[in-house]
Chains A and B, each alone.
Chain A
Amino acid sequence: MAKKKSEDSTREFEQAIKKSEKETYLLKLYVTGLTPASTRAIANIKKICEEHLKGRYELDVIDIYQQPVLAKGEQIIAAPTLIRKLPLPLRKFIGDMSNTERILLGLDLRPKKNK
C-alpha cells in the first residue's frame, strides 16, 4: 500500500514536470529603477528564461518607482522581486536572481541533467 502510494506520487510528480514543460509561464519582475541589483536581476532572469522556457514565457519588467500602486497591490516589500503568476501556485523570488539553481527549483524547472 505504502509502496503503491509512493509510486503514485512519483508518477504524479513526473507528470507535473512534463506538464510544466508544456505550460506557459507568466512572470513579473519588479525592480527599482536602474540600480545594480535591478540590472543584474533583469539580465539573470532573461538568461534563465531563454535557456529553459524558450518560446513559452512572458516576462514583464516593472519599475515600481513608476508605479508605486502596484507595489501595494502585489505585496512587494523587497526589490528586486520576481513573481510567478502562472502557472499556479503563486511564487515569489527576491534578490538579484543570481542563484539560478534556486530559481529553477522554485519555477519547477529542474535542469535536464539532474533528471
Chain B
Amino acid sequence: MPEKTKSDAKKRVRTSLLSKVPTGIQGLDEITQGGLPKGRPTLVCGSAGCGKTLLAMEFLVRGAVQFNEPGVFIAFEENAEELTNNVASLGFDLEDLVKKKKIVVDYVYIERSEIEETGEYDLEGLFIRLDHAIKSVGAKRVVIDTIEALFSGLPNHNILRAELRRLFRWLKEKGVTAVITGEKGEGTLTRHGLEEYVADCVIMLDHRVTEQISTRRLRVVKYRGSLHGTNEYPFLIDETGFSVLPITSVGLNHKATEERVPSGIPRLDAMLSGKGYYRGSSILVSGTAGTGKTTIAVHLINEACRRGERCLYMASEESANQIIRNARSIGIDLAPWVKKGLLHFNVARPTYSGLEMHLVTVNKLVKEFRPTVAVIDPITGLTNIGSVEEVKAMLMRLIDMLKNSGITALCTSLTHGGENLEQTEVAVTSLMDTWLLVRDIEYNGERTRGLYVLKSRGMAHSNQIREFLITDKGIDLTDVYIGRGMVLTGAARKRQEMKEDAEAAARKEELERVKRELERKRLLMEAKINEIRAQYESAEEELLAGVKAHELMEKALTFDRGVIAGMRKADASKQGPKDGRDSGGKR
C-alpha cells in the first residue's frame, strides 16, 4: 500500500510544474510528495542537536548512492574528518564516496579574531570554492551547513546579507538542489532570518522532551508550489540514518481482500464464519488478566509460521524467552520459527521511548522485516507513556499503517477488573475489524473462561459464547451449556449435563414403561376378543345342531305322514312333501 501512495504522489508531481528531487530519506519523500524542489534551495532549521546536519548529509549521501547525483558539502562547523566520523555511525562511508568523486566536502574555517575588515569586500571567494567543488564532481546537490556561521565570522552584516541573497540566487542559476541549515532563533525560524532568502521550502526539526521522554519531530513549514503534509511527523535517527513516519498522511485506501487467515484455533475459525480472520484486518483481543489473550496471539503466529509467513511480535510485558516458554507449555513451540527467521520478537518496555518513537520503530520493522502478521501485546501498556487521547491517536496511525501494508494485526488489550468489559482502556475498538472478548465466568465457586466474537466486520460470525479451555495441546473451545435460561461452563456445565443425562434416561424409562403397559392392554383386549369369539362359536355350534335336529325331526314327520297316507291311500301329494323338501334344500 505505501507503494500506492508513493505512486500517487509521483503522478501528482508529474502533472504539476514543480519537479522534485527525491531525498531517499524514509518518509520524507512521502510528506513532501516527491522530495525537495529541484534546483532550488531548501532551508532546514531547528535547534542544536536536532539532526539538521544529519538530514542534510543523508540527502547528499543518498543522492550520490541511490540517485547518482553527486553532491557538495560545505561545512562551516565541522571539518571533513569530524563529519566522516560522525556519519560513519549511521552507516555512511563518506571517505569512500569522496574517493569515488561522488561527494566533495569543503570545510570553511572562519575565525573572527584572525580576520580584519579593511574596506569593501564580497564573498566571491566562497562562490569560487563552491563553483569549483560543484564542477569537480558535477554536483547536482549542495549542502551548506550552517551558513549562519558567517554571521559570527564576519562583522559586516550588511555585506553578508547582500551576499547571501546573491548566493541563493546563484545556487538557483546553477540549477543545484541545495539544503541550507540554520539554527533556530527566538521567535523566528532561524537566528539570522535566513528564511527571508530561502523561501521555496522550509523544513523544521524539533527535539522535544515531555515527561522525560524525548521525541524528534519534523514539519514542512512551507513548500512553495507544492502540496505537502502539514503535520508534525516524528522521526528517528538510528544506525541506518533518518526515518520519518508520515502516518497521518496515510489515507483510508487500503485494499480489502477476501482472503482469510486461520486463527490456529479450528473452533474459533468456525465461529468466524468458518474460515478465520480476514487477511490484513485488525483484531483486538481484550480481556482481564490471565484470560489467555497472549495464547490466542501465539496460536495465530504459530499457524502463520507453519504456512511459511513472517510474523512480527511486539511484546512490552514479557521477554521473548518467556513467551516461547509459555507457549511450549500449551504444546506450541515457537523456537524453530525464530531460528528460521520467520518470527521476529521486538521486546521493549513502553517507557523506553515516546509514543511516536514506537510508531517509527514499528514502521521501520515493518519495512525491513515485511511480516504478514503482527502482534502487539499489549496495546494497553502504552498508556503509561501518554494520555489516552495521544495513545489513541498513535494506535490509530499504527493500525492504519499496518492495514496499509496488508498486515494482519492482532492487538491484545488488558481490561482491568471492575471496568466495563466491552470497553478497552484506550478506546480503539472502533478501529478494529474483529473483536474477540475473553472473559472470566465466575459461577458457583469456579472460574472458567468464555470467549465470544463481539464483532467481526464483513462476516457472519457466531454470536454464541464458547467455553475457552487452555490445555497442554493448545486452546480448545467447547460449547457451553445453554438451556432453561442458563449459561453454564466448566464443572457446572458438566454437572448440569450429567443431570440432564440422568433425567433423559428416566424419561426414556418411563416411556418404555408406558409402552409396555399399552402392549399388555392390547394383549388383554385380544384375549378377551378371542374368548368372546370362542363362546360365540360354541353357541353357534349348539344352535346349529338344534336346527338340524329340528329339520330331521320335520323330515321324519313328513315321511311318517307320507307313509301313513300311502298306507291309507290318500291323495295328498299337492302339498305336504314338496313344501318340506323345499325348506330343507334352502338350508
Residues of A within 8 A of B (CB): 30, 32, 35, 37, 40-41, 44, 64-65, 68-69, 71-72, 75-82, 90-99, 102-103, 106
Contact = CB atoms under 8 A, between A and B. Distances in A.
Interface in B97-152: 106, 108-110, 114-126, 128-129, 131-133, 150
Which secondary structure dominates chain A's binding surface?
A: mixed
Contacts of A98: 118-120
Interface string B50-84: 00000000000000000000000000000000000
A65 B131 CA distance: 10
Given A30-B125, A40-B119, A82-B118, 17 more contacts: A32-B125, A35-B124, A64-B124, A68-B131, A71-B128, A71-B129, A72-B106, A72-B133, A75-B108, A76-B129, A78-B122, A78-B124, A78-B154, A80-B121, A81-B121, A92-B114, A98-B119
Given A32-B125, A37-B121, A94-B121, A103 B116 contact: yes
Contacts of A41: 119
Interface string B186-208: 00000000000000000000000
A32 B115 contact: no
Contacts of B154: 78, 94
A77 to B, nearest CB: 4
B128 A32 contact: yes
22 contacts: A30-B125, A32-B122, A68-B129, A68-B132, A71-B132, A77-B108, A77-B110, A77-B129, A77-B150, A78-B122, A78-B123, A78-B124, A78-B126, A79-B121, A79-B123, A80-B121, A82-B118, A93-B116, A94-B118, A95-B117, A97-B119, A106-B118
Interface of B: 106, 108-110, 114-126, 128-129, 131-133, 150, 154
**Which of B110, B115, B126 has the most C-beta atoms of chain A within 10 angstroms of its own C-beta?**
B115
A96 B116 CA distance: 11
Contacts of A35: 124
Which secondary structure dominates chain B's binding surface?
A: mixed
A103 B115 CA distance: 11
B229 to A, nearest CB: 37
A97 B119 CA distance: 6
A102 B116 contact: yes
A76 B108 CA distance: 8
Contact of B125 (A40, A44, A77): A77
Nearest to B163: A78
Contacts of A77: 108, 110, 123, 125-126, 129, 150
Given A72-B106, A91-B114, A64 B119 contact: no
Nearest to B153: A77
B125 A71 contact: yes
8 closest Cβ pairs, A-B complex: A95-B119, A68-B132, A98-B119, A76-B125, A95-B118, A96-B119, A79-B124, A77-B126
B133 to A, nearest CB: 8
Contacts of B110: 75, 77
A97 B308 CA distance: 77
Contacts of A91: 114, 116
Nearest to A94: B121
B121 A78 contact: yes
B76 to A, nearest CB: 10
A92 B132 contact: no
Contacts of B125: 30, 32, 64, 71, 76-79, 81
Nearest to A95: B119
Given A68-B129, A69-B132, A96 B124 contact: no
B128 A68 contact: yes
Contacts of B126: 77-78
A94 B129 contact: no
A68 to B, nearest CB: 4
B123 A95 contact: no
**Which of B110, B124, B132 has the most C-beta atoms of chain A within 10 angstroms of its own C-beta?**
B124
A99 B131 CA distance: 30
**Which of A79, A97, A102 has the most C-beta atoms of chain B within 10 angstroms of its own C-beta?**
A79
A94 B110 CA distance: 12
Contacts of A32: 122, 124-125, 128
A68 B135 CA distance: 11
A35 B117 CA distance: 18
